[in-house]
């Protein structure tokens, strides 16, 4: 009989080798899945766009800054879809520091803390002066894409 000593030879390392390959495959697969599995975050872009849209609308149109009629004029003149705004966005309009209109999910506290909590909406705010009055506009978006079966 030949080679009595060290019969196992290099095959003894097979378990370590398979273990290392397993770690490599699982690690790379998990990293790839985490990177590509999450959605593109368009919430800040959405918040910026709706803010700019409202700012432009309030500046260029003569919307009555009156608590009772503002809501109706706001949606029709600014060409905003009310259901979409109330479901996916946050809109706050203040006139000289007093709330003129507020809609949607969220509030100013959530906007202020959006960097700390991923579940809070991403927000944007702007201030315009019209006819001597200060209009503060804060908008936010927490919309994510939805996958459905047809």
Partner 1 sequence: MSEEEDNPLMDNLMFILVLVIAIVIVLAFVWSQMNGAARWSDFYVKQVATSLELSEPGDKIEIDVHQATKIANRNQQLDFQKIFSFNETENEICVALAPETKTCYNYFNDIKVSSHVIISGSFKDTGKNTLALEISSKTPEVK
Summarize as ranges the residues that interact with partner 1 (CB under 8 A): 2-3, 9-10, 14, 17-18, 21, 24-25, 28-29, 32-33, 35-37, 39-40, 42, 45-46, 49-50, 53, 75, 79-81, 83-85, 87-89, 143, 145-150
Q: Least separation, in Å, of the C-beta of 28 and partner 1?
A: 5
Torsion of CA 70, 135, 126, 58, to 10 degrees: 50
Q: Which of 30, 81, 29, 26 is nearest to 53 (CA)?
A: 81
Q: Least separation, in Å, of the C-beta of 19 and partner 1?
A: 12
Sign of CA dihedral 61, 64, 65, 70: negative
| Cβ nearer to partner 1, comparing 49 with 128 | 49
Q: Least separation, in Å, of the C-beta of 96 and partner 1?
A: 26
| Cβ nearer to partner 1, comparing 131 with 145 | 145
| Cβ nearer to partner 1, comparing 81 with 133 | 81
Tokens coding 46: 């959405």
| Cβ nearer to partner 1, comparing 68 with 150 | 150
Instruction: Determine the distance from the C-alpha atom of residue 2 to the mean position of all C-alpha atoms in its chain, rounded to a whole number.
Output: 70
Tokens coding 112: 């202020």
Contact between residue 66 and residue 95 where contact means Cβ atoms under 8 Å apart: no
Sign of CA dihedral 11, 15, 18, 20: negative
| Cβ nearer to partner 1, comparing 96 with 101 | 101
Q: Least separation, in Å, of the C-beta of 118 and partner 1?
A: 17
Residues 141, 85: Cα–Cα separation, whole Å: 9
Q: Least separation, in Å, of the C-beta of 22 and partner 1?
A: 8
């Amino acid at each position: 009989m030949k080679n009595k000593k060290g019969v196992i030879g290099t095959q003894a390392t097979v378990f370590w080798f398979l273990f290392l390959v397993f770690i490599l495959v699982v690690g790379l697969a998990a990293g790839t899945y985490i990177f590509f599995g999450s959605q593109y975050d368009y919430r800040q872009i959405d918040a910026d766009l709706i803010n700019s849209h409202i700012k432009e609308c309030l500046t260029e149109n003569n919307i009555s800054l009156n608590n009772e009629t503002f809501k109706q004029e706001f949606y029709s003149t600014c060409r905003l879809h009310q259901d979409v705004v109330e479901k996916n966005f946050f809109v706050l309009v203040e006139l000289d520091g007093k709330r003129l209109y507020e809609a949607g999910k969220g509030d100013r506290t959530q906007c202020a803390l959006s960097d700390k909590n991923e579940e809070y909406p991403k927000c944007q705010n702007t201030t315009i002066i019209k006819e001597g009055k200060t209009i503060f506009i804060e908008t936010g978006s927490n919309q994510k894409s939805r996958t459905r079966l047809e």
